[in-house]
Amino acid sequence: MLLLVGLGNPGDKYDNNRHNIGFMAADSIARRQNFSIPRERFQSEICEGRLGTEKCLILKPLTFMNLSGQAVGEAMRYFKLSPEDVIVFHDELDIPAGKIKFKTGGGHAGHNGLRSIDQHIGKDYHRIRMGIGHPGDKDQVTGHVLGDFSKKDRDWLEPLLDAVADAAPKLAEGGAAFLNAVGLILKPPAPKKAPKKDTPDDQTTNQ
């Protein structure tokens, strides 16, 4: 079983925060892949479904970001999962807005949600790092992260969330397969041109 975790802060006032893009991804996957109606368990909002043939639980901690690891650890222990079964969707300052990357293990880079998860389950889980861009000034980071997405941001955010939701079944095959599927959805290959037919002027005959 896979445990997909979307990181964010609960409450209507945080819904459109950049810091809540993990929640947004989780919600998009749950809707597109026809997961169950959400219910509260493990200090979280959870829903169940399948990604391909893989059973999956989507979890949104209701503990606030800096205590996210409590909820993740509780669910992981209950289902007897390992960190390798956990995939966390979260915002990433150091990736340009609209880009995503896959990573297993490593540091938390100051992200409070990841720091909490590290403390409760270790570092060997997978992450889908969803770029929100850097404001360019470290003094503006907090306001940027906790600020709302702008109307202009929706130009890349909505297509990205749709692509993540459509490509989600590929998560069962690994991070590379998932990212490749997202990339093909966002930038499908150009259609191949039909071979040019000979015109009468192009034809040659042997006389």
Catalytic annotation, residues: 19
Asked if residue 101 lies in contact with residue 178, where contact means CB atoms within 8 angstroms, the answer is no
Q: How far apart are the first and last CA of the chain?
A: 72
Q: What is the CA radius of gyration of the chain?
A: 21
DSSP state of 118: H
Distances (CA, A) of 62 to 67, 82, 87, 146, 149: 9, 22, 17, 17, 21
> Is the Cβ–Cβ distance between 19 and 90 less than 8 Å?
no
Check if the beta carbon of residue 168 is closer than 8 Å to that of residue 32.
Answer: yes
Contacts of 12 (CB under 8 A, 6+ apart): none
Q: Kindly state the tokens that stand for 89.
A: 């969707």
- Grouping H, G, I as helix, E, B as strand and the rest as coil, residue 186 is helix
Note whether 93 and 134 are within 8 A (CB).
yes
